[in-house]
C-alpha cells in the first residue's frame, strides 16, 4: 500500500527511483524464484531480507478498467544459462503457479545493498520517521496461465487474474431465498457436532449428537399422528441382531472397507460418519435384510427439510443448553439460505 511520502515522491519534479520485483512461487520443495529487471542496479537486490536475482524481465499488457474482459498480461524472462528452463522442467511449465509483481522505491531497499550498509535514498531525517523503510507502493498477483514460448534466449508466459479461471463463479455459494445450502450435520450446519449442546426431547436429555426430531417434511417424531413415538433414546451405532423399540435412534455408518481375508464388507472403525435413523415400530429386529437404509417400514431417516422451519425445529425448539457460539433461542440460526433476498410485491 502507498503512504503519503511515497505519493509525494512519485509526483515531485525529482521523483525517487522505482523498480519492479517479481516473485514466482514454484512449489513447497523449491519455494520462490525472485527476480528484478536489473535496470536500476546491475547486482542482485535484497528487499525485506530476500534476494532478487538480476535478470532482464519484460512485463506488458497489464491494465485496470471497470468493463470488458480481464487482461491477460505477458511476462518474458531472460533464459540466462537455461535458468528458467531448469525451473520449469518437470513442473508442468509452471501452469497455475502464482506470480507477484511488486513496485518499490529505492528508499525501500535494505541497507545491505549500499556501501557502508546505509541506504542513501532514504536520508537520515526520513530514516527515523518511517520505521521498516515503508511498504511497497504497488503489488499485484497473477496466475501463470500457460507457457507461450521457450528458447535458449527467453521464456514467455501468459498470465491471468486469479478471478479469471474456468468454471469458477462469484459468488461461490448459490444464493437461495428459501433453501439452505449447507450439508446437514456437515460444515456450516454442524448440527450434532457442537460441544455443550443439550436437547430436552420429551423426558429424554440428549447431549452433543443432535437428536433426530423431525423428518424431511418437518413432521415431528414426538407426539405425532404419523409416528407412534412417545420417547426417544440414543442407541449408538446400529448393530445387526439387536431388537429396537419405537423412538430408538441409531447411527448407520456410510464408510465401509473390504476384508479380503473374509471376503466381506466391514464397517470402518476409523471414520464414524453416517446417517441417523429413528425406529417407528417396536420389536424391529435388525438384520442384513432390515438395514435402516432399506427398511422403510420400521425406520425413518433423520433428514433436514433445508428450510428455515426445519432449522428452527432443531436449533431452537428442543434446545436446553448450547455452547458459547450458539447462545440460546435469541442467537442466530446456522441457516445457509438468504431469506432477505426473497422478492416481494410492494402494495400501497
Question: CA–CA separation, 101 vs 59, rounded Å?
Answer: 9
Contact by Cβ (8 Å): 234, 210: no
Residue 205 has pLDDT above 80, yes or no: no
CA gap 170, 157 in Å, rounded: 26
Domain check: are 136 and 235 in the same one?
A: no
pLDDT of residue 239: 83
Domains held by the chain: number: 2
Is the confidence at residue 289, as pLDDT, over 80?
no
What gap in Å lies between CA 250 and CA 54, rounded to an integer?
66
Whether 169 is covered by a domain: the verdict is no
- Measured between alpha carbons, how far is 14 from 6 in angstroms, rounded to an integer? 13
183 domain-assigned: no
Chosen domain end from 135, 160, 185: 160
Residue 174 lies in a domain: no
Strand partners, 143: 98, 160
Cell numbers describing residue 163: 478471478
* Residue 21 shares a structural domain with residue 129: yes
Q: What pLDDT is recorded for position 148?
A: 92
Any domain includes 186: no
Give the model confidence (pLDDT) of 208-267 as tens digits: 778 888 889 988 888 777 787 888 888 888 888 888 888 888 888 765 444 444 444 444
Closest CA to 33 of 20, 47, 45, 22: 22
Whether residue 243 is contained in a domain is answered as: yes
Has residue 184 been placed in a domain?
no
Distances (CA, A) of 191 to 25, 44, 85, 156, 319: 39, 56, 52, 51, 12
pLDDT at res. 69: 74
Query: pLDDT tens, 16-43?
Result: 677 889 999 887 777 888 998 876 566 7
- Set of cell numbers at residue 159: 498470465
Grid cell, residue 126, equals 526520513
Q: Terminus-to-terminus CA distance in the chain, angstroms?
A: 50
Which of the four pLDDT bands, split at 50, 70 and 90, describes residue 268?
very low
CA dihedral 209, 214, 215, 220 (to 10 degrees): 150
User: Which range has the worst mean pLDDT, 123-127, 287-291, 306-310?
Assistant: 123-127
Residue 36 covered by a domain: yes
What is d(CA 146, CA 296) in angstroms, rounded to the nearest whole number? 54
- Pair (139, 286) in one structural domain: no
Give yes or no: residues 65 and 145 share one domain.
yes
| C-alpha–C-alpha distance, residues 37 and 78, integer Å | 10
Indicate whether 151 and 62 sit together in one domain.
yes
Q: Are 221 and 202 in contact (CB under 8 A)?
A: no
Do 151 and 245 fall into the same domain? no
> 98 has which bridge partners?
143
d(CA 101, CA 62): 11
Pairing mode, strands 233-237 and 248-253: parallel
Boundaries of domain holding 281: 198-339
- Which of 243, 184, 242 lies closest to 214, judged by CA? 184
Secondary structure, 3-state, the chain: CCCHHHHHHHHCCCCCCEEEEEEEEEECCCEEEEEECCCCCCCCEEECCEEEEECCEEEECCCCCCCCCCCCCEEEEECHHHHHHHHHCCCHHHCCCEEEEEEEEHHHCCHHHCHHHCCCCCCHHHHCCCHHHCCCCEEEEEEEEEEEEECCCEEEEEEECCCCCCCCCCCCCCCCCCCCCCCCCCCCCCCCCCCCCEEEECCEEEECCCCCCECCCCCECCCECCECCCCCEEEEECCCCCEECCCEEEEEECCEEEECCCCEEEECCCCCCEEEEEECCCCEECCCCCCCCCCCCCEEECCCCCCHHHHHHHHHHCEEECCCCCCCCCCCCCCCCCHHHCCCCCCC
Asked if residue 7 has pLDDT above 50, the reply is: yes
Q: Are residues 214 and 122 in the same domain?
A: no
Q: Residue 300 pLDDT > 70, yes or no?
A: yes
Cα Rg, the chain, nearest whole Å: 32
Amino acid at each position: 500500500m502507498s503512504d503519503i511520502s511515497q505519493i509525494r515522491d512519485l509526483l515531485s519534479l525529482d521523483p525517487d527511483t522505482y523498480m519492479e520485483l517479481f516473485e514466482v512461487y514454484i512449489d513447497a520443495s523449491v519455494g520462490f524464484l525472485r527476480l528484478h529487471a536489473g535496470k536500476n542496479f546491475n547486482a542482485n537486490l535484497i528487499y525485506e531480507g530476500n534476494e532478487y536475482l538480476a535478470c532482464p524481465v519484460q512485463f506488458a499488457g497489464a491494465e485496470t478498467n471497470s468493463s470488458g474482459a480481464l487482461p491477460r498480461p505477458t511476462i518474458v524472462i531472460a533464459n540466462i544459462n537455461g535458468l528458467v528452463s531448469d525451473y520449469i522442467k518437470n513442473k508442468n511449465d509452471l501452469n497455475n503457479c502464482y506470480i507477484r509483481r511488486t513496485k518499490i522505491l529505492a528508499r525501500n531497499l535494505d541497507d545491505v545493498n549500499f556501501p557502508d550498509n546505509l541506504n542513501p535514498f532514504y536520508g537520515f531525517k526520513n530514516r527515523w520517521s518511517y520505521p521498516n523503510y515503508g511498504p511497497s507502493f504497488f503489488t499485484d498477483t497473477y496466475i501463470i496461465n500457460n507457457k507461450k514460448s521457450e528458447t535458449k534466449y527467453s521464456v514467455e508466459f501468459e498470465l491471468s487474474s486469479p478471478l479469471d479461471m474456468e468454471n469458477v463463479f462469484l459468488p461461490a455459494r448459490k444464493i437461495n431465498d428459501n433453501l439452505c445450502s449447507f450439508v446437514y450435520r456437515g460444515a456450516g450446519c454442524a448440527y450434532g457436532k457442537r460441544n455443550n449442546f443439550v436437547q430436552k426431547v420429551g423426558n429424554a436429555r440428549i447431549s452433543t449428537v443432535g437428536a433426530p426430531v423431525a423428518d424431511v417434511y418437518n413432521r415431528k417424531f414426538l407426539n405425532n399422528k404419523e409416528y407412534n413415538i412417545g420417547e426417544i433414546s440414543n442407541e449408538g451405532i446400529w448393530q445387526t441382531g439387536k431388537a429396537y423399540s419405537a423412538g430408538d435412534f441409531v447411527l448407520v455408518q456410510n464408510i465401509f472397507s473390504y476384508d479380503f481375508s473374509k471376503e466381506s464388507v466391514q464397517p470402518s472403525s476409523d471414520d464414524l460418519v453416517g446417517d441417523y435413523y429413528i425406529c417407528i415400530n417396536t420389536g424391529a429386529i435388525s438384520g442384513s435384510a432390515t438395514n435402516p437404509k432399506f427398511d422403510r417400514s420400521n425406520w425413518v431417516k433423520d433428514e433436514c427439510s433445508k428450510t428455515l422451519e426445519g432449522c428452527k425445529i432443531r436449533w431452537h425448539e428442543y434446545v436446553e443448553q448450547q455452547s458459547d457460539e450458539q447462545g440460546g433461542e435469541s442467537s442466530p440460526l446456522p441457516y445457509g439460505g438468504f431469506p432477505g433476498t426473497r422478492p416481494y410485491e410492494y402494495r400501497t
